[in-house]
């Protein structure tokens, strides 16, 4: 029996980890940095992905807005596993095979992951990026029996 490794990663835990790492002091609006945020339900396709609205500037955003995970067709658990496999020093070809994903998608993902977890954020230090990558990798390790 073959087990699809993508199904071993808990989506809820992935999103909770992203929230904790991204907003350790509480959720902030990516547009105006306000803390006056209301929850607006969950994404239709990724049910653990929380939606928000800023009460001050009325910007709508979600857990992945302005991160390298946003705007891609691969779900968050695939990104987490890709990060885990990068940590194991697997080639892009091996990662594509393990995740059953196109090689071109894996090449794009690994390039972005190596560049850092948070985009558009010059305030984030390299140490913070490494800490995020380490914690996301640990999340993947815990999920794999």
Closest CA to 63 of 43, 79, 35: 43
Query: What is the value of pTM for the model shown?
Result: 0.70
Q: What is the pLDDT of residue 131?
A: 57
Q: What is the pLDDT of residue 18?
A: 86
Q: What is the pLDDT of residue 127?
A: 44
Handedness of CA 14, 67, 54, 127 (dihedral sign): positive
- Asked if residue 37 lies in contact with residue 22, where contact means CB atoms within 8 angstroms, the answer is no
- In sequence order, the 6+-apart residues with CB closer than 8 A to the CB of 25 are none
Q: What is the pLDDT of residue 133?
A: 58
Q: What is the pLDDT of residue 142?
A: 58
Q: What is the pLDDT of residue 125?
A: 43
Q: What is the pLDDT of residue 6?
A: 60
Q: What is the pLDDT of residue 118?
A: 45
Q: What is the pLDDT of residue 144?
A: 56
Closest CA to 76 of 45, 114, 39: 45
Half-sphere exposure of 135 (CA within 13 A, CB side): 17
Q: What is the pLDDT of residue 48?
A: 93
Query: How far is residue 94's CA from residue 17's CA, in Å, rounded to a whole number?
Result: 26
Q: What is the pLDDT of residue 140?
A: 58
Listed by start position, the domains of the chain span 5-24+66-143
**Cβ-based burial of 24 (10 A; exposed 0-12, middle 13-18, buried ≥19):** exposed
- In sequence order, the 6+-apart residues with CB closer than 8 A to the CB of 118 are 22, 66, 67, 68, 124, 128, 129, 132
Low-confidence ranges of the chain (pLDDT < 70): 1-8, 117-145
């Amino acid at each position: 029996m073959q087990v699809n490794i993508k199904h071993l990663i808990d989506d809820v835990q992935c999103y909770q980890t992203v929230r904790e790492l991204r907003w350790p002091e509480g959720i902030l609006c990516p547009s105006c940095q306000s803390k006056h945020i209301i929850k607006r339900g969950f994404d239709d396709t990724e049910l653990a992905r929380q939606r928000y609205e800023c009460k001050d500037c009325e910007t709508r955003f979600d857990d992945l807005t302005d991160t390298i995970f946003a705007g891609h067709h691969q779900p968050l658990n695939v990104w987490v596993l890709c990060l885990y496999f990068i940590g194991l020093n697997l080639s892009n070809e091996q990662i594509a095979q393990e995740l059953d994903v196109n090689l071109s998608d894996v090449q794009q993902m690994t390039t972005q992951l190596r560049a850092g977890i948070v985009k558009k954020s010059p305030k984030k230090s390299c140490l913070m990026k490494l800490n995020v990558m380490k914690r996301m990798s640990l999340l993947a390790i815990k999920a794999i029996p």
